[in-house]
Structure 1
Amino acid sequence: MAVSLDETPSAGGKTRKPRAKNAPPRGAASGTARRAARNSEIVYQDLRNAIINVTLPPGSPLAEKDLTEKYGISRTPVREAILRLAEENLVDVFPKSGTFVARIPVSELREAIVARKALEEVCVREATMKASKSQLMGLRAIVQREQELADKGDEQAFHEADNAFHSGIAAASGYPGIWNMIEKIRLQVERYRRLTLPQEGRMQLIVGEHAAVLEAIEKGDADAAVANMNNHLNKLQIDIGTFQDLWPDYFLFDKD
């Protein structure tokens, strides 16, 4: 008697279990799962970037129906992406009310700036002692690029160059992993920084502050380099009140 395709003996000599009638081909389920995971990752990255860049401002609604239509996918990968964003405190999910881009928590913002200052102080001190000539040249090139981008008013590219300057100092310090640590705690700081860049003269101010840090490193003056970096990061802390006044709906204030 002929053996059906679903009962074809396997390489080990064992007969495969017959596939249920109308069941999808073997491997289809895993393929569907992979596509769903890939779709979820795309939605997650797109929304995450838009939230951090403030393209999606705090308080913006995120409707599952709209997202499924936009990406042409089912609701499951959209929900998974939103859950990941909620775990990062970038999205608030209110049952029966909806899903919204989270406001920037002021207390978390202040703590992140304090933690970042402590980590960057280590990098600056070590970079002052360890930076090679080529690394210093690379940092100088970044500052020059920042100046050019500030002159053009290119906020996105300037933001990227700003991050490159700080990560470059971490690399020169011999502790590039510290920048990875900073990236994990700076989500809310990044959102806040994107609000500050459009302020008139803000980018030019940052260029000058970065230049002061680099000049002290080049001179081998670790104390001055740290002081200049602290001055640079303290501006973020000091100016929080100003931007709260400009965009009160974008921030989550402490209960007290």
Structure 2
Amino acid sequence: MAVRLDEKPAGEARQRKPRARNSPPRSPVTRQSARATRNSEIVYRDLRDAIINVTLPPGTSLVEKDITETYGISRTPVREAILRLAEERLVDVVPKSGTFVARIPVTELQEAIVARKALEEVCVREATAKASKSQLMALRAVIQRERELAEAGNEQAFHEADNAFHAGIASAGGYPGIWTMIEKIRVQVERYRRLTLPQDGRMEMIVAEHAAVLDAIEQGNADAAVAAMTSHLNKLQIDIGTFQDLWPDYFLFDVK
């Protein structure tokens, strides 16, 4: 059933408070603009999540008319949402052909992984020096949750727990803002990672790698912790070729 985002509650006009004597007149344009902005944000977030989660795989056609009917809104907020996604390189708008979910650019993917490794090295070293016992216990609990989710095959929840582990290390190192920086550059990495999780034994392997990082942090061995984290993140880069072979239509091999 279509979701009507622009409907007003019955009787709204009667319940509205009277305007003060010297206040400027209410502008229907302003109200309409605010509603359109809100609708555009909802469509943008929904489409963005579906693209990153690969619910909408690369190459999927996004039909503007279908989206407007699904949300029960006008085309303007839909177009605004699509423009934002295009700026993030998550959709391609092809003149006279349509709008499609963008393929994952390999060069950008590789660069993001390199940048992430450099940033996470800082977090791991600082966490080794500064992490409190309670923070280490919290990280150990995250790993246990990952283990249970891997056994249950819950990919979505595992993905969230995986992010929580890395964010927890940044926080333990006193640099939670670095994880925010990583989140901004890892959009394409997130799409790629969602393709890797269904691989047999992948989640269990990640659990073991996270445990190795945390073991080294708890032992106060920063070099070993960094080496374990680097090995963990290198797996993403090394395996790109494997997943390109599995889903060649999902990747863009040359973005220059």
1:75 aligns with 2:86: no
TM-score (normalised: structure 2): 0.90
By how many angstroms is 1:71 displaced? 0.5
By how many angstroms is 1:133 displaced? 0.3
Q: Are the counterparts in 1 of residues 59 and 102 from structure 2 also a CA contact under 8 Å?
A: yes
Q: Are the counterparts in 1 of residues 107 and 255 from structure 2 also a CA contact under 8 Å?
A: no
Q: Which structure 2 residues correspond to residues 2-151 of structure 1 after superposition, within 5 A?
A: 11=22, 26-151=26-151
For 1:11 and 1:228, the matched residues in 2 are separated by 67
For 1:130 and 1:9, the matched residues in 2 are separated by 57
- Secondary structure of 2:93's counterpart equals strand
For 1:46 and 1:255, the matched residues in 2 are separated by 26
By how many angstroms is 1:11 displaced? 2.6
Q: Are the counterparts in 1 of residues 130 and 172 from structure 2 also a CA contact under 8 Å?
A: yes
For 2:176 and 2:65, the matched residues in 1 are separated by 41
Residue 246 to residue 9, structure 1, CA distance change in 2 (3 Å): closer
By how many angstroms is 1:101 displaced? 0.3
Q: What are the Cα deviations for residues 59-86 of structure 1, in whole angstroms up to 9, with x where unaligned?
A: 1000100100110100000000000000
By how many angstroms is 1:174 displaced? 0.3
- Secondary structure of 1:26's counterpart equals coil
- Secondary structure of 1:122's counterpart equals helix
* Residue ranges of structure 2 left out of the alignment (5+ in a row): 1-18
Q: Are the counterparts in 1 of residues 123 and 169 from structure 2 also a CA contact under 8 Å?
A: yes
Amino acid at match of 2:105: P
Q: Are the counterparts in 1 of residues 56 and 101 from structure 2 also a CA contact under 8 Å?
A: yes
By how many angstroms is 1:26 displaced? 3.0
- Secondary structure of 1:99's counterpart equals strand
Amino acid at match of 1:11: N
- Secondary structure of 1:96's counterpart equals coil
By how many angstroms is 1:255 displaced? 6.7
Q: Are the counterparts in 1 of residues 105 and 255 from structure 2 also a CA contact under 8 Å?
A: no
1:235 aligns with 2:235: yes
TM-score (normalised: structure 1): 0.90
For 1:133 and 1:249, the matched residues in 2 are separated by 47
Detail structure 1 runs of 4+ shifted over 6 Å in the superposition: none
Q: What are the Cα deviations for residues 156-178 of structure 1, in whole angstroms up to 9, with x where unaligned?
A: 00000000000000000001000
| Number of the residue aligned with 1:173 | 173
- Secondary structure of 1:93's counterpart equals strand
By how many angstroms is 1:29 displaced? 1.4
| Number of the residue aligned with 1:5 | none
For 2:171 and 2:35, the matched residues in 1 are separated by 37
Q: What are the Cα deviations for residues 88-145 of structure 1, in whole angstroms up to 9, with x where unaligned?
A: 0101001111000000000000000000000000000000000000000000000000
For 1:126 and 1:255, the matched residues in 2 are separated by 35
Supply the RMSD in Å over aligned alpha carbons.
Answer: 1.6
Q: What are the Cα deviations for residues 19-77 of structure 1, in whole angstroms up to 9, with x where unaligned?
A: xxxxxx83221111111011000000000000000000001000100100110100000
Q: Are the counterparts in 1 of residues 67 and 78 from structure 2 also a CA contact under 8 Å?
A: yes
Overall identity of the aligned pairs, in %: 79
By how many angstroms is 1:9 displaced? 11
Q: Which structure 2 residues correspond to residues 151-230 of structure 1 after superposition, within 5 A?
A: 151-230=151-230
For 1:180 and 1:59, the matched residues in 2 are separated by 29
By how many angstroms is 1:206 displaced? 0.1
